[in-house]
Structure 1
């Protein structure tokens, strides 16, 4: 056996020991550095986080502020209900994800198990409503309509319902005082989402997972003021979760109340009259289509002329906003969003846009004067006007001879405006202008505020559209490929229009200007825009930013922040022109196209001004427009596929004025019946405890006025005693006028489709 000298292994062992020593020292250095970082460098931060492990928070939701009408009547407030909720976290701990518990709960509540399960599933791109779009860690409400007996069953048998609670809570209530629904103006609430919580973390008003957030209307516009601040109580707990003390507590701060300019009494009348006008229109036969008018949607705005404050705003079809309280059911959601419902969530007063027809004529009237034409004229009101072989006929194919612009407004003479717009089109260089054209008719419309938002304090307002040269160019760029692909020379009407638009849809053609001058073609407006314009004519020329909110009042009543009317500018006309147009619109109500609706009106005491409009839209029945004002109010109503302006909307608008001023069938004014003869200026009285006086309001009963209203509408031709109306009746004249326009000119006045004119 050979012995290996120890000196042969000694160097290798020493090297290994050195390496091990280095590794040990490195690990000790790393550990020491990490300990220094945790205990010294960031010691305070981690100590603070660690202390949080021993503190649990309990959130007390703030009571949401009320939304009140101008006299203090609650139109949205809160009430205590028994709310049954489910903890999704607890349910998912069960083997069947809580299906058995939810089925038992459904039996107690008298609901279908499937409906209950849909309530607690989370919303995502693939999950249809109903579903929960709030935090998955927040108790999910199943119903807020539980009875005391049902709540007692759940609480006494808690072992059978793990993760289920039944507690009294303050929930939103949309009171509909006197039947004033006010749905689209108020909006609705739904739970806050995780994305919203994250985005609001660094804001002055962060969200808590228990918060409900306004999704539309005033609930969204004034959400921050209404929401208040939730209370948070922090408890110290041990490692077993047992409370060992209270760290601190922040009391909940209730939300502020929003006082609006809405008068619930006028609102209920406006809603009723709009609905009745639509029902009546559906009983009228439309000879152009061979069926009754559909009258599928409508809107009405009642506004203070001198301030822009909205007194009433109704949109139809409507809905009950209480459907959203406590989580909306699948059936209700389908009804509100399905195509067959015609989208009742839309506020058509600010989101419904259509061609305005003849109520637009105040704009080209001002434009003509700005371009240098005289108000007095004379201008030839012939039975027709021809451009490049295309004949545009006046109503009844009747001419009035030389008339002023005022008389053209009274009788709504189209050919006067055809001539003026065509002359200006030629002055601007025709289809190929050189240099920068004046474009008075388009520029003036923008100065009236059209083609832009009015700025009303409601979300999602649309702008409407003024089809000027810039718009035509951008619209052509976006659509020329499809027009060129679909268009066919000599094909169907739609194919021919597409062919013409493909060739020169970016050019301002004579036909475009002619259609535009009478509120047709591609022009789109909203009821709130036209209410602002007619209100400005009434008040002397000031365009106001429409407002619904009137004041923000703190819950204790000590802080009141009034929302003052805000002027957006002046109408582009002199005071002389304003007075001339004002006089012409008074003539419309006394001897023009609206006279048959205002016969017997106390014109000397309450001067009435009006303009009727009947707009034609390709593929649909005519849209009814009626724009009116007095020294106090402007009322604008529109009914889609409802027929003529004065025929469909006229009676309803007259009845709204009757209610406002207390006008009886014989034209006398009964102040006891008047709801609001002058606008409400003062705020409701606030008590020392912060509560606000709220007068009682009775449900609107039109039957009480049925006899007087029937008398007010006159005989079969709709005339009143003393009315200044020529024969035949204005309704028949308006109908013949529309039919006459259709003869000899195809569908030349169709929104979005134009004839090729040179």
Structure 2
């Protein structure tokens, strides 16, 4: 009987297990069957991005600055190679010999990016062809196509790539494209995005809309069929305010000016041309520059090292918006406006002595020359320093006695747009610096530990090669350690003539002079003018916004403009403009000579023309170029001649006229 009970219990247990199994089969096949079927299919599907043809970038008349061209591109199928016994190494070696490339370079390009795999690597989908060489000769490409047994998984076909018909023209403005590092690898493929310049700022419009292709693959990764495909939509065209002819004039003039400087290792500079009426940038250049085609197909490590190397002048730096220097005497338009706003007589006469004592230190006029009493107009024309020292010291004394210092010069500088980014439609812009009491204390707090240490130990390594400079730096460190938090009379004096800790970018100075020239409107500059769809429709227009107005009366602005019109005739720029047809094109401007210990002066010239009815601003800076009249002013003269067709040059803009109409992109460039 017990045996029969145990047998019955076993039968019951077995029956229950079968019932549970049948119930589970029912759930899997009937209730959840669709879900598991979908999961099985999804497990064998892959989605690949189909990149859109990127839109072009053109100048104000429709001349292409960046466009697309077809290039013979050799690509490798990662899956095919990975299935070979040696992971495709033999194939890649044969391919490297055929293309004349190092094997290591190709091998690094086709490996998949990951936590332990640094660039260069492939950040896209392994199911996409991986490009390893572009612009391949068609005869070489045919050898690949005709010998599939030697090059399995290798293809050669025409593909669109970025093309620069003007070479390196406006390279810093245009920028470049590269793989989107924020998305990485995975099933979605690689996306090329703008990484700098206009390519980055207007990436969403230029990129277009990607398509996609859904593939079914087997367990080995072999593609079985295409399930679904959505075609990409091409990107829009960006019309800019850049004029290619003016840009070429500016770049040539800047290069000539910079190449004359010594030492060669310090050669750099920048220039900006802006429309004072609209705030649009007509040309913007930096030196040294580079050819943006170096990015096409992926930049080589050696090229990237060269572009970022200080020994080669860091050509990747856009000095027009990222370079920061003391503006020197070009700054005096700010100091004069601040002095008049503080109550000094616009039509008064002031002593331009050879030197002026500020606190316990004597500040000299340039060259130690005294000119006697003069009005403020003459003070700008001859660039008298001591008059502005007096203004600054008087304001400093008044602020020291006040409970809340007014800092009128700093306030006016900020109203001119200094100390803040202009908001131009380019990435990476620097803000410059407007120093004052708060900044001085904050800077001291940040650096006092380091400078107090230097005050004690000095600079032993530098003392071996340059004892005089080492002693100077040690003395500066000792002073900063003890009283570096104080805004001194000397700081105020230096501020008044654009020296000391003041820093500006060439674009900031151009914007300030544009506001002076147009009667007080402070623009946020723009380079983009319009976005035009692939079908020719204008998707949006881009207008530089007015972000402020100078707190300066029209009478004072007119007075300053009149004074600057005399600078190229009889002032500090007279030598640089000797023989220039000023009666035909009256140029107004201001030289600047920024001094720094141990190196040559930085040369500035800020100008606008025609002086009586301003249309353009031209600003040039040349590092270690000497006085403002030595390098920057002659370069500006060359630019003005090139724009208007003077001194035997062909006019880049006949009559100084820009077009207000958008170019007809369907009919070709004009």
- Which of 226, 229, 240 in structure 2 is aligned with 1:260? 240
Instruction: Figure out how many residues of one structure are paired with residues of the other and give that number.
Output: 655
Contact 2:259 2:267 in 1 (8 A): no
Aligned to 2:403: 435
Q: List aligned pairs for 1:339-488, cutoff 5 A.
A: 339-429=310-400, 435-488=403-456
Secondary structure in 2 aligned to 1:625? strand
- For the residues of structure 1 that align with 2:410 and 2:247, how far apart are their CA atoms? 35
Secondary structure in 2 aligned to 1:507? coil
- Which of 615, 621, 639 in structure 1 is aligned with 2:594? 615
Please, what TM-score do these two structures have when normalized by structure 2?
0.90
Q: List aligned pairs for 1:265-304, cutoff 5 A.
A: 265-282=245-262, 295-304=266-275
- Which of 183, 190, 203 in structure 2 is aligned with 1:195? 183
Contact 2:123 2:185 in 1 (8 A): no
User: For the structure 1 residues 101 and 575, does the alpha-carbon distance in structure 2 shift closer, same or farther, using more than 3 Å as the test?
Assistant: same
Contact 1:135 1:192 in 2 (8 A): no
Q: List aligned pairs for 1:155-194, cutoff 5 A.
A: 155-176=145-166, 181-193=169-181
Aligned to 1:588: 567
Aligned to 2:464: none
- Which of 491, 505, 509 in structure 1 is aligned with 2:484? 505
Which stretch shows the higher mean deviation, 70-79 or 321-330?
321-330
User: For the structure 1 residues 675 and 315, does the alpha-carbon distance in structure 2 shift closer, same or farther, using more than 3 Å as the test?
Assistant: farther
Aligned to 1:70: 60
Aligned to 2:634: 651
- For the residues of structure 2 that align with 1:122 and 1:219, how far apart are their CA atoms? 26
Deviation at 1:52, TM superposition (A): 4.0
The answer for unaligned runs of 5 or more in structure 2 is 459-469
- For the residues of structure 2 that align with 1:61 and 1:413, how far apart are their CA atoms? 60
Secondary structure in 2 aligned to 1:259? strand
- For the residues of structure 2 that align with 1:322 and 1:354, how far apart are their CA atoms? 30
User: For the structure 1 residues 673 and 298, does the alpha-carbon distance in structure 2 shift closer, same or farther, using more than 3 Å as the test?
Assistant: closer
- For the residues of structure 1 that align with 2:125 and 2:387, how far apart are their CA atoms? 62
Aligned to 2:305: 334
Deviation at 1:682, TM superposition (A): 1.3
- For the residues of structure 2 that align with 1:35 and 1:465, how far apart are their CA atoms? 74
Q: List aligned pairs for 1:43-62, cutoff 5 A.
A: 48-52=38-42, 59-62=49-52
User: For the structure 1 residues 22 and 403, does the alpha-carbon distance in structure 2 shift closer, same or farther, using more than 3 Å as the test?
Assistant: farther
Aligned to 1:718: none
User: For the structure 1 residues 488 and 24, does the alpha-carbon distance in structure 2 shift closer, same or farther, using more than 3 Å as the test?
Assistant: farther
User: For the structure 1 residues 232 and 610, does the alpha-carbon distance in structure 2 shift closer, same or farther, using more than 3 Å as the test?
Assistant: same
Deviations 1:373-407 (A, max 9, x none): 12222221100011233211112311111222222
Aligned to 2:107: 117
- Which of 176, 200, 213 in structure 1 is aligned with 2:193? 213
Aligned to 2:462: none
Secondary structure in 2 aligned to 1:195? coil
Secondary structure in 2 aligned to 1:314? strand
- For the residues of structure 2 that align with 1:32 and 1:526, how far apart are their CA atoms? 76
Please, what TM-score do these two structures have when normalized by structure 1?
0.80
Deviations 1:196-220 (A, max 9, x none): 689xxxxxxxx95232111100111
Secondary structure in 1 aligned to 2:299? coil
Aligned to 1:153: 143
- For the residues of structure 1 that align with 2:196 and 2:655, how far apart are their CA atoms? 28
Deviation at 1:680, TM superposition (A): 2.4
- For the residues of structure 2 that align with 1:544 and 1:606, how far apart are their CA atoms? 25
Contact 1:472 1:507 in 2 (8 A): yes
- For the residues of structure 2 that align with 1:621 and 1:17, how far apart are their CA atoms? 103
Which stretch shows the higher mean deviation, 84-93 or 363-372?
84-93
The answer for unaligned runs of 5 or more in structure 1 is 1-5, 199-206, 283-291, 696-758
Secondary structure in 2 aligned to 1:75? strand
Secondary structure in 1 aligned to 2:362? strand
Deviation at 1:563, TM superposition (A): 0.8
Deviations 1:628-676 (A, max 9, x none): 11111101111111211111112221111111111236xxxx9877556
Is residue 2:552 matched to residue 1:573? yes
Secondary structure in 2 aligned to 1:151? helix
Aligned to 1:525: 504
Contact 1:80 1:171 in 2 (8 A): yes
Aligned to 2:668: 693
